[in-house]
Amino acid sequence: MTHDSRLTTHDSQLATKADLRLATNLHVAVIMDGNGRWAKRRLQHRIFGHRNAIKAVRETVETAAETGVRYLTLYTFSEENWQRPQAEINGLMALLVEAIQKETPTLLKNNIRLQYIGCTELLPAAVREKLQQCINETAGGTTMTLTLALSYSGKWDITEACRRCAAAVQQGRLAAVEITAATVENYLSTAGIPAPDLLIRTGGEQRLSNFMLWQMAYTEFYFTKVLWPDFSKQHFLDALKEYNRRERRYGKTSEQIQQ
């Protein structure tokens, strides 16, 4: 279902108070879609949309921390995105280095820890260097963990987990009969991080696009037509408000959940 409602000032204040209470310890994942279309509508190149998306990233990160979200994962660059025109890829990589450098003080101010997941050996050395520098500087953050999914795909993640499981069996560290869903999860790139409670996708599309396929088995989905550069604090709160209305049963009945 798509949601694009706007709250009045009074309702917004009430929603903020409720979300501050109910968002605590959530894991929110975001597919940041619509940068290219946003730029095209303004007769600009796609990179113009990516550059103007940084404000939405900053506002989302700060709002998530303010509302008590424990983990925030942003689908920053997919494995499939390497198929885009080289000029756009180069621009994105340069922008990523610039953004990491500029936003590190904001992460430190908000006590946020940065990490990343994905096939990162494909990333330029400058990107990996800036990422690692920011990771080291923010390692002590305890308010929220911000994860950037870079050169990431869900199929890659599951495949790598299977390879690591197989290697462990071959080396005698793991018996094949002992492999369970929990075992596989421990070999995923997200090991140690709970599965997302809520996925927000902007831009109007309603699909996962190969993002955290294993981890989102029971995630609640929230789709909005808002293009990512226009995504604001209020839009994030709208998503939390909708999430708070839903009943998560994990295969049980409503009566069992209410007991």
Q: How far is CA 62 from CA 82, 87, 109, 123, 141, in A?
A: 29, 31, 10, 26, 14
Coil vs helix vs strand at 91: helix
Annotated active-site residue in 4, 11, 19, 81: 81
Distance between CA atoms of 85 and 216, rounded to whole angstroms?
30
3-state class (DSSP) for residue 102: helix
The 3-state DSSP class for residue 152 equals strand
User: Other C-beta atoms within 10 Å of 235: how many?
Assistant: 23
Has 136 been annotated as catalytic? no
Residue of 4, 11, 25, 33 with catalytic role: 33
Active site includes 81? yes
Contacts of 121 (CB under 8 A, 6+ apart): none
Active site residues: 33, 81
